[in-house]
Amino acid sequence: MIEVRPYQEELLRQVDEALARPDARVMMQLPTGGGKTQIAGALLNRWLGDGRKAVWLTHRKGLAKQTESMLSQAGVPAAANIVWTPSSDAPVITNGVVILMAQTVSRRNDHRSVWDRYDDGDLMIIDEAHHAPAEGWARAMEQWPGPVLGMTATPWRLSEKEGFDHLFKTLLSGPQVVDLQSDKWLCKARVLSPAEEERIKGGTVASTGDYNEPGIERANEGRDILTAGALRFWQSHGDDRQTVVYAVSVGHAENLVEEFNAAGIPAACMVGKTPDEERADIIARFQQGTLKALVNVDVATEGFDLPDAACVMLTRPTLSLSLYLQMVGRGLRPKEDGGDCLVLDLAGNAPLHGLPEEVREWSLKLREHVRPSGESPVVHCPDCKGLSPASSHQCGHCGEPFGEICGRCVVWRAWKRWGLKASCPKNHDPVCDWCHYDAHIKAKLSVTKELEEASMPQPDDELSPDRDPFLKNLIKNERIRHVKVREQRMDELKRDIETRESELSNENKLEKRFKRHLTGLPPSEQPRTRLQWSWQFVKWDEGFRKELADWKKEFGELEAQPVDKGLVLNKVRDRLMGLFEAEAREVGLVSGGSSEESVLEDSSQDLPDLPPTGPGEWVTFEGLGQWHKSTGSKDRSIKPQRVRFPGEKEKAIKDVWISLILETAEWSIRRGLLTTESGKGIQLADKKSSKTYLIHTSSVHPSKRPFGNPKQLTNGLYLNSQLSAKRITLSCGNLVAKFGQNPAQFKVFLSK
């Protein structure tokens, strides 16, 4: 019985269900190397019996023999190259599988059905089913009396005439390449490519929709990139790896082999007409390591099993996504040493089609044709030649930055948006091209027409502000505020991580820290013996180190987190609505006074300032800490009296400071922000108390010391209420900012 992986078992279950439906026509998609043949073998093991039969269609002799061997090893009776007499029906094996060449079937079924020896309980499996729309293959499916299963890594056609929905009714997709890589079923791919001007060009396009061989060679005449240049690139990056090379034509393959051998690198060529014995010898030498480079033309693609390819070199440009993924997929099988696959893309295929691990949505329907135009899905690093996703801010291979954050608009811009930086006078801070206009105005520098055009907001910049200066400043300030909250948290984490790593690296510091931990424990939990001391130290040390790992994880997530454009836009929109309502009150369109309902009562928009209801002043959470430092600490008789939170009416609160943090927490609960998950282990804002919880799922601090005066919130969380006024004023703004809220929209009325 064949063993299947968990994801294969799930896909097999779906296939079983789909094939049980009437007139089943099912296409199964699974990335190259995911094990489509293993799934089919397991399916046939369950399917065959009680006199049932199956046909397996393939289009290469090498694949037919390979499939026969794999199915036989899986315990499935299978036979390839069975004699099929012309004008007779297709051969059968009861309780077994006949492997037929699709080309043979196409010739025999042109004028008659060839499936009279099969019935509606028998199964047809089509390997590499992206070829199924070809005339002979489609005719075989139409004439077949039973269910059909098509298998492919790429349900994608170069032709723009049709998709697959006229042949198949159901598409079942397995995990993406990136998922199989994460679970170690496939290895990672590291894709390198020369600069665009040094890549192999495509040339003319044939009637098939792909570049033709003579056109590619003509387009690259006078350039050595096809041979000597390809060798140089390989020697610079992949000479320590066994390599499968994809060539343009037989002549090109032979030239490459000659170039490699002349450089003392053992290489051999394998093409479609290579005899079986010679092919077996080449593969054996490659697997033994005596052959460094295996150059092929359309051989090591579909169904070709070559697990020892640690490097794949593409010297053939193609417009076919299927061919590109088939070529790259030959190197993605897991390596014995756990290493990656190096992909040397000299032909610009990844800049057209994307990286191998890119998430792709497959469909049976006709899709938009891929053309080598528009924005590339990758970005090229000129330093290490690596390719990274287009959204990357730095090279995924060497860490080289692809741009920087503009100090004015606080948005990351690619280097192409910094063209004016080098030629501009140094009278202002370096800014991106789109901010140079404003920077020149502020610095009283001249503004040319070219500069004005370069600084025009672009349609693809979602957050480009309007030309109105007020709106521009409003958006800019909101961006800065949004980024500042994240940076403050990153600064806190950085300090905590450095302190913790220092403690862990010094045994004396670590022991002192543990002793301080013990002093906070009640007498009943104090260790009485050395053994108990050691046991408690081990448990404490594990938690101590886990907390460090959690901080590092949070820091990494924040560091990689892009500016939340949607959140910034929503905050700006909230602010504008608040200003709009304030103007409406000013002209009498909306009644003023705290007893009146806001026209935005049911929304989360910012409320406008209202006149004070008594002696005192309104203070925002943003300025609360500063207020306490300058005024509140001098006059301890001042207490909070009323609050105004976004989306809610003004309300009175108890004139004690703890009521302010309680009201803030309850508001966060009502808004769905503070939950039992998000409220787990929220620490106090000030540095001295950074190891003390403000809110937690239980009323216990990290040191195991219980809260002095815990208050249980309405959702079951506990709030530490044993806080000074100073800590409360700092923690209120910190708490709402943690949930992405603007502290400037929260207001408290203070009075004696």
Listed residues 413, 429, 461: the one ending a domain: 461
Report DSSP state, residue 743: G
Q: What is the pLDDT of residues 310-364, one digit of tens each?
A: 999 999 999 989 899 989 988 998 988 889 999 999 999 999 999 999 988 898 9
3-state SS class at 151: strand
Q: Which two three-digit tokens encode residue 745?
A: 């929209």
Same domain? 190 vs 135: no
List the strands of the sheet with 639-644, edge to edge: 617-620, 747-751, 639-644, 651-652
CA distance 38 to 51: 22
CA atoms within 13 A on the CB side of 649: 11
The neighbouring-strand residues paired with 192 are 344, 386
What is the identity of the amino acid at 217? E
**Is the pLDDT score of 106 beyond 80?**
yes
3-state SS class at 750: strand
The neighbouring-strand residues paired with 100 are 57
Report DSSP state, residue 663: H
pTM of the model: 0.60
Q: What is the pLDDT of residue 591?
A: 52
Q: Are 36 and 155 in contact (CB under 8 A)?
A: no
**Is the pLDDT score of 459 beyond 80?**
no
Percent of the chain having pLDDT more than 70? 84
Same domain? 362 vs 446: no
Pairing of strands 97-101, 54-58: parallel
**Is the pLDDT score of 469 beyond 70?**
no
Q: What is the pLDDT of residue 468?
A: 55
Q: What is the pLDDT of residue 355?
A: 95
Least confidently predicted of 49-58, 428-437, 438-447, 460-469? 460-469
Q: What is the pLDDT of residue 233?
A: 96
H/E element, 343 = strand 341-345
Phi first, then psi: what are they for 403, rounded to 5°?
175, -165
H/E element, 557 = helix 530-560
Q: Which two three-digit tokens encode residue 29?
A: 């998609």
**Is the pLDDT score of 708 beyond 80?**
no
Q: How crowded is residue 64: how many other Cβ atoms within 10 Å of its Cβ?
A: 23
**Mean pLDDT of the 443-467 span:** 59
**Mean pLDDT of the 150-177 span:** 87
- Domain carrying residue 29: 6-175
- More confident site: 633 or 655: 655
CA distance 501 to 492: 14
CA distance 561 to 563: 7
Q: What is the pLDDT of residue 614?
A: 41
B/e letters for 411-433, b = 16+ CB within 10 Å, e = fewer, are bbbeeebbebeeebeeebebbbb
- More confident site: 473 or 123: 123
Q: How crowded is residue 615: how many other Cβ atoms within 10 Å of its Cβ?
A: 7
Enumerate helices (H) and strands (E) in the chain, giving the number of each. Answer: 21, 25
Angle at CA 188, nearest 5°, toward 249 and 242? 45
The neighbouring-strand residues paired with 294 are 244, 268
Q: What is the pLDDT of residue 245?
A: 95
B/e letters for 87-104, b = 16+ CB within 10 Å, e = fewer, are eeebbbbeebbbbbbbbe
**Mean pLDDT of the 94-110 span:** 90
Output the domain CATH number for residue 364.
Answer: 3.40.50.300
Ramachandran area for residue 165 (φ above 0: left; ψ -120 to 50: alpha; else beta): alpha
Same domain? 222 vs 318: yes
Angle at CA 699, nearest 5°, toward 697 and 705? 130
CA atoms within 13 A on the CB side of 429: 10
Average pLDDT, the chain: 83
Question: Quick one: pLDDT band at residue 636, thresholds 50, 70, 90?
Answer: confident
Say if 634 falls within a structural domain.
yes
Q: How crowded is residue 563: how many other Cβ atoms within 10 Å of its Cβ?
A: 16
Question: Quick one: pLDDT band at residue 533, thresholds 50, 70, 90?
Answer: confident
Listed residues 175, 190, 217: the one ending a domain: 175
Listed residues 346, 361, 389: the one ending a domain: 389
- More confident site: 84 or 582: 84
Same domain? 224 vs 349: yes
Same domain? 126 vs 214: no
Say if 585 falls within a structural domain.
no
| Count of structural domains, the chain | 5
Same domain? 450 vs 481: no
Q: Which two three-digit tokens encode residue 456?
A: 């025009």
The neighbouring-strand residues paired with 171 are 27
Q: What is the pLDDT of residues 26-77, one digit of tens each?
A: 999 999 889 998 999 999 998 898 899 999 999 877 788 888 888 888 889 9
Say if 727 falls within a structural domain.
yes
Say if 209 falls within a structural domain.
yes
Q: What is the pLDDT of residues 115-139, one digit of tens each?
A: 999 999 999 999 988 888 888 889 9
Q: Are 481 and 474 in contact (CB under 8 A)?
A: no
Closest CA to 362 of 414, 322, 404, 308: 322
Candidate ranges 110-114, 142-146, 542-546; pick with highest mean pLDDT? 142-146
Handedness of CA 717, 720, 725, 731 (dihedral sign): negative
**Is the pLDDT score of 634 beyond 70?**
no
Same domain? 196 vs 290: yes
Least confidently predicted of 261-265, 297-301, 487-491, 653-657? 297-301
Question: Quick one: pLDDT band at residue 691, thresholds 50, 70, 90?
Answer: confident
CA distance 732 to 661: 6
**Is the pLDDT score of 291 beyond 90?**
yes
Q: What is the pLDDT of residue 69?
A: 86
CA distance 669 to 58: 60
CA distance 419 to 454: 9
Q: What is the pLDDT of residue 490?
A: 80
Q: What is the pLDDT of residue 725?
A: 84
Q: What is the pLDDT of residue 465?
A: 38
Quick one: CA torsion of 470, 472, 478, 480, rounded to 10 degrees?
A: -120
Angle at CA 497, nearest 5°, toward 492 and 500? 125
Same domain? 456 vs 511: no
Same domain? 339 vs 191: yes
H/E element, 148 = strand 148-152
Q: What is the pLDDT of residues 191-216, one digit of tens each?
A: 999 999 999 999 888 878 889 888 99
- More confident site: 517 or 467: 517
**Mean pLDDT of the 542-550 span:** 87
Say if 591 falls within a structural domain.
no
Q: What is the pLDDT of residues 588-606, one digit of tens each?
A: 665 544 333 333 333 333 3
- More confident site: 640 or 486: 640
Q: Which residues neighbour 549 within 8 Å (Cβ) at sequence distance 6 or greater? A: none
Same domain? 206 vs 169: no
**Is the pLDDT score of 433 beyond 70?**
yes
Say if 271 falls within a structural domain.
yes
**Mean pLDDT of the 374-398 span:** 89
Percent of the chain having pLDDT more than 90? 32
What is the identity of the amino acid at 438? D
Same domain? 450 vs 480: no
CA distance 544 to 706: 18
Q: How crowded is residue 140: how many other Cβ atoms within 10 Å of its Cβ?
A: 26
DSSP for 58-126, please give it: ES-HHHHHHHHHHHHHTT--EEES----TTSPPP--TTSEEEEEHHHHHHHTSSS---TT--TT-EEEE
Say if 602 falls within a structural domain.
no
Question: Quick one: pLDDT band at residue 8, thresholds 50, 70, 90?
Answer: very high
Q: What is the pLDDT of residue 123?
A: 95
Closest CA to 35 of 70, 69, 60, 81: 70
Q: What is the pLDDT of residue 435?
A: 83
Q: Are 650 and 695 in contact (CB under 8 A)?
A: no
Same domain? 194 vs 157: no
Say if 709 falls within a structural domain.
yes
Rg, Å, the chain Cα set: 34
